[in-house]
Structure 1
């Protein structure tokens, strides 16, 4: 039996002596959990929190002898940590005053390609914001497809106080970072997937506004072009698209969705060709990023379609070239600087006060209407 914690023999269960939670862990389950933890290379704060049935922030404070934590509870947590072999990260005499920025990519030859420009901007913005706070930046790229994912040297060698992760990093890498009790915050990812705090764009309100206005202009068929359907950002945009259509009484047609398209311009061209092969093109096409939209625009022009007279086209991200296209591209603006700034704030909080329960912060996108959208062909015909 772990000292400072108690078994309740009649219920054959285990619970903290302080009664922090009403849930209990079966005796066999507890023994199995403790045995599992002892086999790990490193036991983290979240592991202790799961075993003690308290928040990770409470464990962090108890291990720091924070007077805000009840004395009995803190003592029990420290004894539990000793029982399972918890060892804190090596202490420094001072912080490294450095943050790691880990960028994920699907292939080495795509790092720096057109489809990776979002990640380049995120890295640049992070460097600017962290520099303004007098923090050094250590940047490293990670291949998502490499198994097992190697832990970057900047993490292993304790050279940073925390890390920002972008580009949908592998879950096994994030798990390894968590086991090191290193503060980490994801950019444009989800708490559900990674188990760490995250700041991401919220496309829902802007997509709803987009579909509502296009419907008011007479549109009833809405195509959607996506890259990786299973990525958190693509999932969020797909769900918002479906919800918005149903809100106005239109059931999404599976034939309108083209997903898992290649990146850059080729994906947009391929998406239009696939839609065309399935039947008449929808009168409005939404794209998950501006590169897809620009490729779609090229293919529509090649097929003799006029924009917006025949097809209304919408991008996402509101990149600078949207103003330079002919016609100018309607897009959803993603507040990238605000997203990164909020992620840095979250990370700074974890560095200074310890790792707490994961939080997810959403930053809403904003519609930017330009000349690539207009009334549906049938509505135009009725007005002529």
Structure 2
């Protein structure tokens, strides 16, 4: 599983050319990540927002459910969940789902180059329990319905019309991750016996049609895998997860992240982070809270996941002690931040700005424990890039 950094610069014609992120080994194989000191040091005391951070990092609140976003007339949605950041000239846009049923949808906040909020607006409405999703290379946000026979919606972070994409299958969708090399989109399913899928568009960048497949593998926690076509992506009368013999079952699929020929996804039912090596056609555990030795395991209640340009994975907790943990390229896991006083909430939507020096995330139910109490934060500091 080991994600060692092979190379950070290449010499071309005598000059150094920087890569946008770490190149991770596809051949190495190691045990799941183990407890270790974090790359940023110990957490400090809670700040004014109740967040414990390493030295050099600060937090601010950028939006609260039911309240107008500062500097705008737009009311932020309830139960903020999965999110992503999109470059917008010299600034950026943070898109966030709303896990409400009915109602759902997604909203966006626009920032300028100084991180000042310059706008906020809806990008999707009238849907059901939009939980996670995924950022597409063509600058669209896939917003996924976490309901039985749920749909995926392709949304425009700049506020254009959203489009329902039934070709990606009807099931209890959770997250999506795009693989431009194989021109595939990986999809998780939030069922106790859910599957991992991939969608192959007939034309890359156009999700109107294509082939939906499911991962086929054994019952072990590591091995080889293949893909098989789903006969009926509509999922009725037979659920997509029950259509292909040998489809591997996962206990509550959640976040999903692709980088450098690898896919990582989380399963909340067993507190695991899985890794697919797309070059070798193998899968294994990147993290398992039952295999951390010595304990206790720092990461429980695994949920949304994102990656930094450095190659670190950041995993948000639904439960546990409300932390975002980091898994480093050398397979060490530690706590990056902890939110205090919000034990009835969950952390959602971690995403980095293009420069990699700011992270956004939400506490879905905030201090109130209600979906109307959601809080969206920005963390600024010396992230590894």
- TM-score norm. by structure 1 comes to 0.22
Q: Which has the larger share of helix?
A: 1
Greater Rg by CA:
1
